[in-house]
Amino acid sequence: MLTSPASTLRFPRLLLTGAAGFLGRELRPRLKTYCDVLRLSDRADLGTANPGEEIQPAALENKAQVLNLLTQVDAVVHLGGISTEQPWDDILAGNIMGMANLYEAARLKGVQRIVFASSNHVTGFYRQDEVVNTRMPPKPDGFYGLSKAFGEDLAQMYWDRWGIETVSIRIGSSTPEPKDRRMLATWLSHDDLERLVVAALTAPIVGHSIIYGMSDNQTTWWDNTQAQHIGYRPQDSSDVFRAAVEARQQHIDRQDPAAIYQGGAFVKATPHG
């Protein structure tokens, strides 16, 4: 956790969806620094509310619940929905219907800024020997990536038609440390995740902006030049883990699609269930 706030701006009430997930649990104590009240939502158990927190469970596919969820909210950090490759019906409910419900509720309730947890899997079928910028066409690597591409398009429409601003963060691999050589390119430290979310919340004007969520890694497949107006400056790097990662994974199967494409194992994941 950062030792001092990256911004002095403070929101009366922030909403964090998907607060029971891996990154939601990480951001829960961090985001409280930037608001008077942090409203937490998930369909899973969120435990007991801490001081300055509100807990409001909701199913994203339930339009009435989502409309109520966005009442008196100043901005949203939207991590809710399905976060891995899953059967289409599950993704349809959480990531398609849920996203539409969230934005329509934001329009009706007057919410003007959303930070959307998109994914690098929107462009997962670009090769690892390519550098992708935020204006290149999507190449989703599965139903999950496809749903995030839909979310970005929805955010664009709500900006164009109704002026709701969104920063779509194509999150790489936000883990305590990189697990393999792919993650040397995709890694996003938890401190840099906080820096990026706060920058996305507080940048003066963003319209609908797309930015890749990565730390200051030596190896990178993603060009964030067109998102510099957000003001995100990563301070961590996967390079401090490089020697250990390369020692663990000394050989790469160059015929393996997971080693060819940026989406890694997602390009060959089979939805289960």
Rounded Cα–Cα distance for residues 238 and 84 (Å): 23
Residue 143: which residues within 8 A CB-CB, separation 6 or more? 85, 86, 87, 88, 91, 271
Instruction: Give me the catalytic one of 34, 144, 212, 261.
Output: 144
The model's pLDDT over 57-114, given as tens digits with 9 standing for 90+, comes to 999 999 999 999 999 999 999 999 999 999 999 999 999 999 999 999 999 999 999 9
Which one-letter amino acid corresponds to residue 171? I
Q: Which fold has domain 11-268?
A: Rossmann fold (3.40.50)
pTM of the full predicted structure? 0.95
Q: Is the pLDDT of residue 7 over 80?
A: no
The model's pLDDT over 239-273, given as tens digits with 9 standing for 90+, comes to 999 999 999 999 988 889 999 999 999 999 887 55
Residue 106: which residues within 8 A CB-CB, separation 6 or more? 70, 76, 114, 158, 164
> Which pLDDT value is given to residue 4?
52
The model's pLDDT over 38-47, given as tens digits with 9 standing for 90+, comes to 999 999 999 9
The model's pLDDT over 141-150, given as tens digits with 9 standing for 90+, comes to 999 999 999 9
pLDDT, mean over the chain: 95
The model's pLDDT over 180-214, given as tens digits with 9 standing for 90+, comes to 999 999 999 999 999 999 999 999 999 999 999 99
> Which pLDDT value is given to residue 84?
93
Q: Give start and end residues of each alpha helix (H) in 163-232.
A: 183-186, 190-202
Under the banding of pLDDT at 50, 70 and 90, the label for residue 33 is: very high
For 211, the enclosing helix (H) or strand (E) is: strand 208-213
Q: Would you call 212 a catalytic residue per the annotation?
A: no
